[in-house]
Amino acid sequence: MKEISIHFTVNGKKVSLNVPSRKRLLDVLREDLGLTGTKEGCDVGECGACTVVMNGRAVHSCLVLAAQADGAEILTVEGLAQNGELYPLQKNFLEYGAVQCGFCIPGMLMSSYALIQENPHPGEEEIKEAIAGNLCRCTGYKQIIQAVEATVKR
Protein backbone atom coordinates (compact mmCIF):
# COMPACT_ATOMS: atom_id res chain seq x y z
CA MET A 1 0.00 0.00 0.00
CA LYS A 2 1.22 3.49 -0.83
CA GLU A 3 2.65 5.37 2.14
CA ILE A 4 1.92 9.03 2.54
CA SER A 5 3.17 11.57 4.97
CA ILE A 6 0.57 13.44 6.98
CA HIS A 7 0.65 16.25 9.50
CA PHE A 8 -2.08 17.12 11.92
CA THR A 9 -2.76 18.29 15.45
CA VAL A 10 -4.04 15.85 18.05
CA ASN A 11 -5.12 17.11 21.44
CA GLY A 12 -3.11 20.27 20.87
CA LYS A 13 0.08 18.49 19.81
CA LYS A 14 1.46 18.56 16.28
CA VAL A 15 2.24 15.17 14.79
CA SER A 16 3.84 14.06 11.53
CA LEU A 17 3.58 10.47 10.37
CA ASN A 18 4.18 8.23 7.41
CA VAL A 19 1.23 5.89 7.06
CA PRO A 20 -0.44 3.77 4.39
CA SER A 21 -2.81 6.08 2.57
CA ARG A 22 -5.83 3.85 3.15
CA LYS A 23 -5.26 3.44 6.85
CA ARG A 24 -8.24 4.49 8.93
CA LEU A 25 -7.86 7.48 11.23
CA LEU A 26 -9.08 5.17 14.02
CA ASP A 27 -6.05 2.91 13.53
CA VAL A 28 -3.64 5.82 13.22
CA LEU A 29 -4.86 7.10 16.58
CA ARG A 30 -4.87 3.74 18.31
CA GLU A 31 -1.84 2.06 16.76
CA ASP A 32 0.54 4.83 15.69
CA LEU A 33 -0.22 7.30 18.44
CA GLY A 34 -1.24 4.92 21.24
CA LEU A 35 -4.46 6.85 21.83
CA THR A 36 -6.56 3.79 22.68
CA GLY A 37 -9.33 5.75 24.39
CA THR A 38 -11.14 5.85 21.04
CA LYS A 39 -13.00 2.56 20.59
CA GLU A 40 -14.09 0.40 17.70
CA GLY A 41 -17.56 -1.15 17.89
CA CYS A 42 -18.45 -1.83 14.27
CA ASP A 43 -16.14 -0.43 11.57
CA VAL A 44 -19.04 0.80 9.43
CA GLY A 45 -20.09 4.09 10.96
CA GLU A 46 -23.10 2.66 12.80
CA CYS A 47 -22.25 2.57 16.50
CA GLY A 48 -20.46 5.82 17.26
CA ALA A 49 -17.87 4.29 19.59
CA CYS A 50 -15.04 5.64 17.43
CA THR A 51 -16.28 9.25 17.41
CA VAL A 52 -13.61 11.96 17.60
CA VAL A 53 -13.86 15.68 16.97
CA MET A 54 -12.19 16.76 13.74
CA ASN A 55 -12.07 20.44 12.87
CA GLY A 56 -14.84 21.06 15.36
CA ARG A 57 -17.19 18.36 14.10
CA ALA A 58 -17.93 14.90 15.41
CA VAL A 59 -16.77 12.25 12.92
CA HIS A 60 -16.63 8.47 12.88
CA SER A 61 -12.90 7.83 12.85
CA CYS A 62 -13.54 4.36 11.40
CA LEU A 63 -14.79 6.05 8.23
CA VAL A 64 -12.06 8.70 7.92
CA LEU A 65 -8.92 7.82 6.01
CA ALA A 66 -5.55 9.00 7.24
CA ALA A 67 -5.15 11.14 4.13
CA GLN A 68 -8.35 12.99 4.94
CA ALA A 69 -6.99 13.94 8.34
CA ASP A 70 -3.98 15.72 6.84
CA GLY A 71 -3.88 19.26 8.17
CA ALA A 72 -6.79 18.68 10.52
CA GLU A 73 -7.22 19.52 14.15
CA ILE A 74 -8.33 16.47 16.09
CA LEU A 75 -9.57 16.05 19.62
CA THR A 76 -9.91 12.62 21.25
CA VAL A 77 -11.19 11.61 24.66
CA GLU A 78 -7.64 11.80 26.02
CA GLY A 79 -7.58 15.50 25.20
CA LEU A 80 -10.57 16.48 27.33
CA ALA A 81 -9.12 16.41 30.83
CA GLN A 82 -6.68 19.21 31.63
CA ASN A 83 -3.82 18.68 34.09
CA GLY A 84 -5.46 15.53 35.40
CA GLU A 85 -8.76 17.36 36.10
CA LEU A 86 -11.80 15.94 34.38
CA TYR A 87 -13.43 18.32 31.91
CA PRO A 88 -16.88 19.53 33.10
CA LEU A 89 -18.66 17.21 30.68
CA GLN A 90 -16.71 14.24 32.04
CA LYS A 91 -17.37 15.34 35.59
CA ASN A 92 -21.08 15.39 34.94
CA PHE A 93 -20.99 11.94 33.38
CA LEU A 94 -19.39 10.79 36.62
CA GLU A 95 -21.78 12.63 38.91
CA TYR A 96 -24.96 11.65 37.10
CA GLY A 97 -23.97 7.99 36.93
CA ALA A 98 -23.88 7.91 33.12
CA VAL A 99 -21.14 5.29 32.85
CA GLN A 100 -21.66 1.55 32.98
CA CYS A 101 -19.34 -0.68 30.93
CA GLY A 102 -17.78 2.46 29.49
CA PHE A 103 -17.20 1.24 25.96
CA CYS A 104 -19.55 3.76 24.34
CA ILE A 105 -18.48 6.56 26.63
CA PRO A 106 -15.55 8.12 24.74
CA GLY A 107 -17.76 8.39 21.66
CA MET A 108 -20.64 9.81 23.71
CA LEU A 109 -18.33 12.42 25.18
CA MET A 110 -16.96 13.48 21.82
CA SER A 111 -20.37 13.76 20.18
CA SER A 112 -21.64 15.82 23.12
CA TYR A 113 -18.52 17.95 23.07
CA ALA A 114 -18.99 18.77 19.39
CA LEU A 115 -22.64 19.60 20.00
CA ILE A 116 -21.81 22.02 22.79
CA GLN A 117 -19.12 23.70 20.69
CA GLU A 118 -21.61 24.27 17.93
CA ASN A 119 -24.65 25.02 20.06
CA PRO A 120 -23.81 26.10 23.61
CA HIS A 121 -27.42 25.80 24.81
CA PRO A 122 -29.03 22.75 23.24
CA GLY A 123 -32.38 21.49 24.51
CA GLU A 124 -33.16 17.89 25.42
CA GLU A 125 -34.30 17.03 21.89
CA GLU A 126 -31.14 18.47 20.35
CA ILE A 127 -29.00 16.48 22.75
CA LYS A 128 -30.88 13.28 21.93
CA GLU A 129 -30.46 14.00 18.25
CA ALA A 130 -26.74 14.73 18.60
CA ILE A 131 -26.05 11.40 20.28
CA ALA A 132 -28.60 9.36 18.33
CA GLY A 133 -25.72 7.83 16.37
CA ASN A 134 -23.95 6.76 19.55
CA LEU A 135 -25.34 3.43 20.66
CA CYS A 136 -25.17 2.26 24.24
CA ARG A 137 -26.25 -1.23 25.23
CA CYS A 138 -25.96 -0.79 28.99
CA THR A 139 -27.84 2.34 29.94
CA GLY A 140 -31.23 3.76 29.07
CA TYR A 141 -29.41 6.93 27.92
CA LYS A 142 -31.18 8.98 30.57
CA GLN A 143 -28.15 9.71 32.77
CA ILE A 144 -26.06 10.50 29.69
CA ILE A 145 -28.59 13.07 28.52
CA GLN A 146 -28.88 14.52 32.01
CA ALA A 147 -25.11 14.86 32.23
CA VAL A 148 -25.00 16.81 28.97
CA GLU A 149 -27.93 18.97 30.10
CA ALA A 150 -26.16 19.73 33.37
CA THR A 151 -23.05 20.78 31.46
CA VAL A 152 -24.82 23.29 29.27
CA LYS A 153 -26.79 24.77 32.16
CA ARG A 154 -23.63 25.96 33.89
Q: Give the interface segment with ligand FES, choosing from 2-10, 15-23, 77-85, 135-143 (CB under 6 A).
A: 135-143
- Residue 34 touches which of another protein, ligand FES, none (CB < 5 to 8 A by kind)? another protein
Q: Does 41 bind ligand FES (CB under 6 A)?
A: yes
Beta-carbon contacts of 91 under 8 Å, excluding residues fewer than 6 positions away, are: none
Q: Does 123 bind ligand FES (CB under 6 A)?
A: no
Q: Does 36 bind ligand FES (CB under 6 A)?
A: no
Q: How far apart are CA 98 and CA 61, in angstroms?
A: 23
Q: Does 46 bind ligand FES (CB under 6 A)?
A: yes
Angle between helix 142-153 and 105-118 (nearest 10):
30
Nearer to another protein, 37 or 69 (CB): 37
- Residue 65's DSSP bridge partners are 24
> What is the closest distance, in whole angstroms, from the C-beta atom of residue 11 to another protein in the complex?
10
CB 145 within 8 A of CB 92: no
